[in-house]
Amino acid sequence: MALSPEQQAEIDAARDSAHTTRRATVPALEEILYSAVPVLDHGFVRVIDYMGDDGAVVQAARVSYGRGTRKVREDAGLIAYLMRHRHSTPFEMCEIKYHVKLPIFVARQWIRHRTASVNEYSARYSVLDNEFYLPEPAQLAAQSSDNRQGRGNVLEGEEAAAVLDLLKRDAEQSWRDYAWMMNEPDETGLPPDSSRQGLARELARMNLNLGFYTQWYWKTDLHNLMHFLSLRADTHAQYEIRVYAEAMMDSLKRWVPLTHDAFLEHRLGAVQLSSRGIETVRRLIRGEAVDQAESGMSAREWRELMTLLERDGAA
């Protein structure tokens, strides 16, 4: 990730400024406020602003006037209870705003999480940077044979090199054509052709592929942030969005450490069983022999349960 001198100067100026406030602040999060955390080859995540902390969650749950004199252990217990029983409104009292630079195809996945306020860089008004995502060789994989939205074996040798070359060549050519259509300077720095007007930016942008980077401000509350992370920080999530979620997990830990611990324990590291799944577990504990057909579960749910329990396909 490379920031321009102007971008770095803006970040430095923001980090050098200080404000006196009576609102709750979190020193660990203040340490990284405005800083760009690198993600992928040209992307980043920055925390721009936040409101509330673990104390705000507890305060909302108890509807108290202040923080009181309760111990951290008691606050942690309450937050764990709220998480375990899926109480959402106390977590909605905290909000956070990120500045994210990400490939367009990742943004199109991300925007499916509709419970956030989003303002994206507009290619109608501005020219997109000549920056596009190229996967690391370890991420170049074939289509999975048993998962329509997953990856299989990693490509190797000449095939992997050919794919990378094609991705790079197509992106470079599409940006040259994009710049030419708008009559904007290309990567060579040649000035515009004064003999023609150039195509409008809002039309020229359609030539760029989904690997090019966009940027947005993404503001959400703590409850919906954790829902996003529970899906996108999961090992089954696509790698390119998962690495953003993992970077945001660090900011969650800094911001609300008690909530972060409860989230890992009761959400990210936990599973939800169906009523048939629970009954199957009870029967297995009693020593009964149970197979998939008899359990009433689908084949996929059965496999997931057996994997979770570290058992063979049947007892």
Residue recorded with tokens 């990693």: 154
Residue 28 above 50 pLDDT?
A: yes
Beta carbons within 8 Å of 280's beta carbon, 6+ residues apart:
290, 295, 297, 305
**What pLDDT shows up at residue 187?**
72
Q: Which residues pair with 51 in a beta bridge?
A: 95
DSSP assignment string, 111-132: TT--SSEEEEPPTTTSPPPS-B
**What pLDDT shows up at residue 6?**
85
Beta carbons within 8 Å of 40's beta carbon, 6+ residues apart:
1, 102, 103, 133, 240, 243
Distances from the Cα of 144 to the Cα of 150, 152, 156, angstroms = 5, 4, 16
pLDDT one-digit tens code per residue, 56-69: 999 999 886 665 55
Pair type for strands 141-143 and 151-154: antiparallel
* Of 15-24, 140-149, 228-237, 246-255, the least confident: 140-149
**What pLDDT shows up at residue 315?**
45
3-state DSSP assignment of residue 153: strand
What value, to the nearest 5°, has the Cα angle with vertex 207 and ends 204 and 208? Answer: 110
**What pLDDT shows up at residue 147?**
67
Domain boundaries defined on the chain = 5-126+211-268, 137-207, 275-308
pTM above 0.95, yes or no: no
Mean pLDDT rounded to a whole number for the chain:
90
| Rounded mean pLDDT, 206-211 | 94
State the CATH architecture for 5-126+211-268.
Answer: 2-Layer Sandwich (3.30)
**What pLDDT shows up at residue 271?**
87
Whether 232 is catalytic:
yes
pLDDT one-digit tens code per residue, 244-297: 999 999 999 999 999 999 999 999 888 889 999 999 999 999 999 999 998 999
Which of 46, 205, 232, 254 is labelled catalytic? 232
pLDDT one-digit tens code per residue, 118-167: 999 999 889 999 999 999 988 888 887 766 667 778 888 899 999 999 99
Query: How many angstroms separate the CA atoms of 186 and 177, rounded?
Result: 9
